[in-house]
Structure 1
């Protein structure tokens, strides 16, 4: 017979949260370890019960509240949102704060470098040494031909490429960082505008012949273009901190057993 895991009862304000309810909630907290999932579920439910108890104390009723997707919140969730809206306020981020954040994180506010790419894929598995070496040989032959006849790329792509882009003459459109395999990306971004890669590029998909068409280099975005998104980010971060502190203050006011929640010693500071 399997061992029965004994867990401490979870109590909030003298009221026990049923183990069956915690087990059901654990399904929303996937983890490699069942104890970790259980603990996460117990903490989430303890916080929910604590907030609902505070809503009861303050006489807060459910109101018509929708989530970010426009869906009406259920009664308990609506009461919790109404409680947080009443008890946790965050001042709007001003321009000075936004400009300071912009100055400290300018690398975040740059347009993405893009390269329009043309390629010919000679499909071969790296595990098939003979086929892969033949693809490399064919790719080198295509590169020699393209050096002699630069205008033949579309024709050769249509004839030899195993990529669907052959229907567009091998044109992949604009490629940004992280949009393709690392080997392809490294070779492509090292090319100048209109430059053909001198050597075949190997990847798990096979062997590539690559040419850069046009480049759009990364450019710093002006503050005015990102000011609104910076203010939104700062206000959301401030709200998360304020909610976390509010929860820790409530945890210091109510008796909680079976789980440990952080307890704040001071007043709520936004």
Structure 2
């Protein structure tokens, strides 16, 4: 009789069908020549879930699935696990001393986002078309030279040459912050000083940009009172993760597990 390719997964006497592990294995990366690695990862994930479900049922947990996204609800098993963790894990609110210490140990982590007032001239093209992109680049470089030679005429140049709707206002884009533009454009903004024009055109998916930094508001360290809610939220998440790990470790220590290896660094993420 041929031995199975992968061992059975048995948690406290409960055998998990291999079809369930095979389905879970599709969610785990592994080299194509090492299918056993994905299987082991899947077996560990299923073992963790099974332990939690067994404990939820032992405690008689009852939890109805809740909506976790637009039109998306928990499964019954996810609801049981959530109910178990809500009952088993109790995180006290952090005290003021703890939160102030967290802020004071490195206030530089809590800075305001930069604000930029920006104008630009766009020479539109599709970067996926090399010939058109090169033609646009040559035009953009010519306009860059003209803009650098007459910075005060930037607005008039934008009105005459830009392919962006902002040309009607002299290329002004108004006030921008991180995430408001495409990455290439934002990267250029972070290198410019107030009043400076990009020395070379900047390519994005929209085409070539000639950018002028009209004004820049520097970042500054935010006061404790402003960032307190953010610090408290981060502290609570970290504390919850530690408590969830400790709870799962207790279940692992008491369990009889065959076919999976749940190490002490096993973690369970908060939904």
Supply the distance in 2 between the matched residues of 1:95 and 1:210 (Cα, whole angstroms): 45
Supply the distance in 2 between the matched residues of 1:232 and 1:49 (Cα, whole angstroms): 29
State the match for 1:97 in structure 2. 98
Deviations 1:205-237 (A, max 9, x none): 654322112222102111111112211211111
1:141 equivalenced with 2:132 (yes/no): no
Question: Relative to 1, partners in 2 of residues 1:134 and 1:79: Cα closer, same or farther, differing over 3 Å?
Answer: closer
Question: Relative to 1, partners in 2 of residues 1:122 and 1:241: Cα closer, same or farther, differing over 3 Å?
Answer: same
Number of matched pairs? 253
Query: Retained in 2: the 8 A contact 1:94–1:231?
Result: no
Query: Retained in 2: the 8 A contact 1:98–1:230?
Result: yes
Question: Relative to 1, partners in 2 of residues 1:20 and 1:130: Cα closer, same or farther, differing over 3 Å?
Answer: closer
| 1:231 alignment partner, SS class | helix
Shift of 1:18: 0.9
Shift of 1:105: 3.1
1:7 equivalenced with 2:6 (yes/no): yes
Residue pairs, 1:53-132, within 5 angstroms: 53-58=54-59, 60-64=60-64, 66=66, 69=69, 73-123=74-124, 128=131, 131=135, 132=137
Deviations 1:112-170 (A, max 9, x none): 112111011234669559633443123212433x43xx2x4344223312334335432
Supply the distance in 2 between the matched residues of 1:130 and 1:111 (Cα, whole angstroms): 39
Question: Relative to 1, partners in 2 of residues 1:243 and 1:211: Cα closer, same or farther, differing over 3 Å?
Answer: same
Structure 1: segments with no counterpart, 5+ residues: 265-270
Under a length normalisation based on structure 1, what TM-score does the superposition of the two structures give? 0.79
| 1:16 alignment partner, SS class | strand
Deviations 1:179-205 (A, max 9, x none): 4445x4455344443x14273334356
Supply the distance in 1 between the matched residues of 2:6 and 2:212 (Cα, whole angstroms): 62
Question: Relative to 1, partners in 2 of residues 1:136 and 1:19: Cα closer, same or farther, differing over 3 Å?
Answer: same
Supply the distance in 2 between the matched residues of 1:35 and 1:20 (Cα, whole angstroms): 15
Query: Retained in 2: the 8 A contact 1:120–1:163?
Result: yes
Supply the distance in 2 between the matched residues of 1:7 and 1:167 (Cα, whole angstroms): 68
1:23 equivalenced with 2:28 (yes/no): no
Root-mean-square deviation over aligned CA pairs? 3.1
1:153 equivalenced with 2:151 (yes/no): no
State the match for 1:267 in structure 2. none
| 1:227 alignment partner, SS class | helix
Supply the distance in 2 between the matched residues of 1:236 and 1:153 (Cα, whole angstroms): 49
